[in-house]
Each structure stands twice: as structure tokens, then as C-alpha cells.
Amino acid sequence: MLTGTPASEAAARTALSRARGSAAAADVAAPAPFSLVVDLAAEPIGPRWLRGAATLTILCAAALSAMPGIDPFQAALAHSIAPKQQFQMNAMLSGPPADAEAALASAPPVDPVEAAKPVVAATASAIRVQGGVTDGLYWSLRDAGVSPDVAAQYLKVLSTRIDVGGDVAPFDRFDLVMAKADGQPLLYAALRRVDAPDVELLKWTVGGKADWFDTDASGAERTDGLMAPVAGRITSGFGRRNHPILHFARMHAGIDFGAAWGSPIVAAADGQVVGAGWAGGYGRQVRVAHGSGIVTSYSHMSGIVAAPGEPVRQGQVLGYVGSSGLSTGPHLHFEVRVNGQAVDPQSVQMQRRQQISGAQRQAFNARLKQLKAIGA
């Protein structure tokens, strides 16, 4: 075996080490040069891939939008949601069927102001005026061309059934018929209400005396006074007094009955419930209209069983004694108002309804139909 000197061996080892280092360096790939172009198929998913994908999307959208007649966003929406199922996530959220949508699309929009405009029709002997309540009932009548005298007649007639100051709401509809005669006497008066029962009255003569009757042919006749609305003694009368909570003198617009908590409160006379619910300082309150502008109210109840619009008979339970609202203890505050003015309940003469029947009822219905046919 051939051997060399130590110096030559050291030189050989150094040369061999350098050769091996060069070979290892050749095996390591050189870093890729910087480029804006990204091969999305070869590039591993990461920040560089995401930037490339976003750039490609923008470029494609721009190219499509430049082409005439193509909306890329609408096309994407049409392909992402099944036809006729757009936004119908479930049955509860789905819209109306196609035929209902078509009907709604073809129906003209309802303009509340337009619907409130008055409509006037006439025959040889009568004039009918209908319209919506916008700026108060009286001024809505006047805007419809109704004279002050006829408007006053109309309000007076309605006040025999409801409180015309508080029971009339915007977009309720008035309906009246007046005769073509001196003074234009009122023949028919109605108020079609949005959130309460309608009022409809016809003037009719019974026994030689003209009176106003509901369209169920019920009217009114005199009877004796009020029935006590609760079993208890009067603890505070009608008139000016020092308020037990507010501690200053003020008008006491009714009378108070002391009674045990939960005692039944009954209607003082026949009528129709025109209000039932919370009434500020009065607490839970029921109001009943009895005709001829008379309204009774029953306040500070613990519970109410009557409902608005419900007809009630004298002695029928309306609710129960309590102490709701401005009250120092369980009692009933009972008021009577005539045409909106508070009066002493112990001085009021009440009215009850009478019925028209037989041939008179048939004639009544025929007259009602005749007047309501004007302009129909």
C-alpha cells in the first residue's frame, strides 16, 4: 500500500472536506425569486395563496362586469338559492304563496289620507256624508262640508252611546244622512270604529214621539234611578273635598263606597261597556254607556271581568273592589257623567231600552236599508 508524507495527507483531507461541502450545498434549493404571480395549484395554502385567490376573484368580476348584459352578483345569487325558495329558511319564515304575492302586487296601495277623504251622495230627499276622522270628529265633519248645526246634532246623537270626547280615534269613519229640508234634520248617524264596536243609530217615531234607536231596533224609556253598584255605605259624597293623598282641596266627581276587598261591583243600569282597563289615578276602571249621554264609571278595582263592547244588564258583575291607582284602601269610586259633565250619582234618572217589534220592526229595517243604500 502506498503512503505519503503527513503534510500531503493533511492536504488531501482538506480537499476531500471541501468537495463534500460543495456537494451538500448543491443539494439545498436556492430561495425562489420574488414574483407577483402565484401558482394557486402548486402554492401551499397560506397568506400568499389567499392573496392570490382574492386578486383572481377581483379580476374575474371586473372582466364580467365589463361585458354588456351580465350582472355577476345577480347571477351568483340565482345559482346559490333554489328558485322560489329564496330566503325561505323554514316554513315559519317563508313568504306568501305565488298567487298571494301576485294579488298583492296587483292591488293598489292604500293611502290612509286618501281613504279618509269624504264621500257625499244624495237623493231627491236626503244627503249622505261619509269620511274618516283626522283632525278630531267635529272638524272632520266640518271639512266634509257638514254645517255646524248638523255636526252638533250628530255629536249629540252619538253622545247618547259613547263619550265623543274620548272614544273616537283617528281613522274611525263617520256616516250620516240628513234630510233636504229646513235645518237639515239628521235621519241616520253612525261611527265605524277601528278599535271598538261600531255605533249606528236611526231616528224613528214611536207613539208620536221621535227618538234615536240602535239598528237592533232598541231605544230608551224612563225608569227609576240607579242601582247601588256595590254592597257598602257611602264614605265620601259628591263635591269639593280635601284629597286624602294629594292633600289639597279638589272636586270629588263621584261618590265612594266603603266595601271589603274583592266584593263584587255590578252595573248600576243596563248599558254597554265602553272602557275596561287601567285609567291612571282611577286605577282599574270600567265605564258603561247607558244612552242619552249618560256614562257611569267604576274605579279602583282589584280585578275586571267586563270587556269593551260587551252589553251588560243592571246588576251584572263588572269587577271586584280593590285599591288600585290613587287610593288609601279598598273602596269603589263611582261616577256618573251626563254629556261629559260629572253629576251627583244620587240625582240621576236613568234610562233603559225598549224594543221595536212586529210590523214596526219591519218598517224600521226597510227605512234603515233605504238610507244606507244612498251612494252605496
Residues 6+ apart with CB under 8 A from 180: 122, 124, 125, 126, 127
Measured between alpha carbons, how far is 14 from 208 in angstroms, rounded to an integer? Answer: 144
What is the structure's pLDDT at 78? 44
- Whether the CB-CB separation of 307 and 276 falls below 8 Å is answered with yes
- Whether the CB-CB separation of 331 and 259 falls below 8 Å is answered with yes
In 260-340 the beta strands, taken as DSSP E runs, fall at 264-266, 271-278, 284-291, 294-304, 311-312, 317-321, 331-338
What is the structure's pLDDT at 346? 81
Listed in order, the ranges of the chain carrying CATH 3.10.450.350 are: 113-219
Q: In 3-state terms, the chain is what percent helix, strand and coil (to 5)? A: 25, 30, 45
Measured between alpha carbons, how far is 294 from 253 in angstroms, rounded to an integer? Answer: 14
Measured between alpha carbons, how far is 267 from 311 in angstroms, rounded to an integer? Answer: 10
Measured between alpha carbons, how far is 143 from 126 in angstroms, rounded to an integer? Answer: 19
Cα 122 to Cα 64, 128, 141, 281, 376, distances in angstroms = 66, 6, 17, 48, 11
What is the structure's pLDDT at 207? 77
What is the structure's pLDDT at 50? 75
Listed in order, the ranges of the chain carrying CATH 2.70.70.10 are: 233-352
Determine the CATH number of domain 233-352.
2.70.70.10
Tell me whether strands 271-278 and 249-252 are parallel, antiparallel or unpaired: unpaired
Per-residue pLDDT of the chain (376 residues; tens, 9 = 90+): 444 555 555 555 655 556 555 545 445 445 555 555 667 677 777 777 777 777 777 777 776 666 655 555 454 444 443 443 333 334 333 444 555 455 555 555 556 566 678 899 999 999 999 999 988 899 999 999 999 999 999 998 888 778 787 788 888 999 999 999 988 899 999 999 988 888 999 999 887 888 888 887 666 544 456 888 888 888 888 887 676 666 666 788 899 998 899 888 999 988 899 999 999 989 999 999 988 888 999 999 999 999 999 988 888 889 999 999 988 899 999 999 988 889 998 887 654 456 677 888 999 999 999 999 999 8
- Domain 113-219 part of CATH 3.40.630.30: no
What is the structure's pLDDT at 18? 61
Measured between alpha carbons, how far is 324 from 257 in angstroms, rounded to an integer? Answer: 15
For 60-127, give the DSSP string.
HHHHHHTSTT--HHHHHHHHHS-TT-TT--STTT----HHHHHHHHHSPPP-HHHHTS-EEEE-SSEE
CA atoms within 13 A on the CB side of 241: 13
